[in-house]
Amino acid sequence: MPRVILCLAAAFFLVASALQAQQASRLETIIQRGTLRVGMTGDYLPFTFFDQATSSFRGFDVDVADALGKALGVKVEYVRTAWPQLSADFEADRFDMAMGGISITPERGAKGLFSTPIMQEGKTPIARCTDKGKYQALADIDQPGIRVIVNPGGTNERFARAHIKNAEVRIYADNLTIFDQIISGNADLMMTDSSETMYQQKLHPGVLCAIHPDKPFDHAEKAYWLQRDADLKAFVDRWIEKAGEDGSFAKIRSAWFE
Give a yes or no: residue 178 inside a domain.
Answer: yes
Hey, CA dihedral for 180, 58, 245, 221, is it positive or negative?
Answer: positive
**Residues of the domain holding 134:** 121-210
Q: What is the pLDDT of residue 23?
A: 73
* 44 and 85 together in one domain: yes
Query: Is 106 found in the same domain as 45?
Result: yes
What count of other Cβ atoms lies within 10 Å of the Cβ of residue 14?
Answer: 10
Burial pattern 160-199, b for ≥16 Cβ within 10 A else e, equals beebbeebebbebeebeebbebbeeeebbbbbbbbbbbbb
Of residues 74 and 24, the one with the higher pLDDT is: 74
Position 216 in a domain: no
86 in the same domain as 33 = yes
Tens of pLDDT, residues 192-228: 999 999 999 999 999 999 999 999 999 999 999 999 9
Mean local confidence (pLDDT), 9-17: 42
Both 78 and 127 in one domain: the answer is no
- What stretch of H or E contains 71? helix 60-72
Say how many domains are in the chain.
Answer: 2
Kindly state whether residues 158 and 229 are assigned to the same domain: no
SS3 of residue 206 by DSSP: coil
In the chain, what percentage of residues exceed pLDDT 70? 91
Predicted pLDDT of residue 257: 85
Give the whole-angstrom CA distance, residue 197 versus residue 243. 26
**3 part of a folded domain:** no
Distance CA 116, CA 248 (A): 16
- Asked if residue 84 belongs to a domain, the reply is yes
> Are 45 and 162 in a shared domain?
no
pLDDT digits (tens, 9 = 90+) for 131-167: 999 999 999 999 999 999 999 988 999 999 999 999 9
SS3 26: helix
Count of residues making up the chain: 258
Are 133 and 151 within one domain?
A: yes
**What pLDDT, on a 0 to 100 scale, did the predictor assign at position 24?**
84
Q: Is the pLDDT of residue 2 over 90?
A: no
pLDDT value, residue 171: 96
Q: Is residue 80 part of a domain?
A: yes
Residues 170 and 108 in one domain: no
- 113 with 241, same domain: the answer is yes
Structural domain contains residue 157? yes
Can you give the pLDDT at residue 22?
Answer: 53
pLDDT at residue 183 greater than cutoff 90: yes
HSE-up of 85 (CA within 13 Å, CB side)?
Answer: 13
pTM of full prediction above 0.85? no
pLDDT digits (tens, 9 = 90+) for 90-126: 999 999 999 999 999 999 999 999 999 999 999 999 9
- Name the band, by pLDDT with cuts 50, 70 and 90, for residue 18: very low
3-state secondary structure of 91: helix
If one counts every other C-beta atom within 10 angstroms of the C-beta of residue 2, the result is 6
pLDDT higher than 90, residue 29: yes
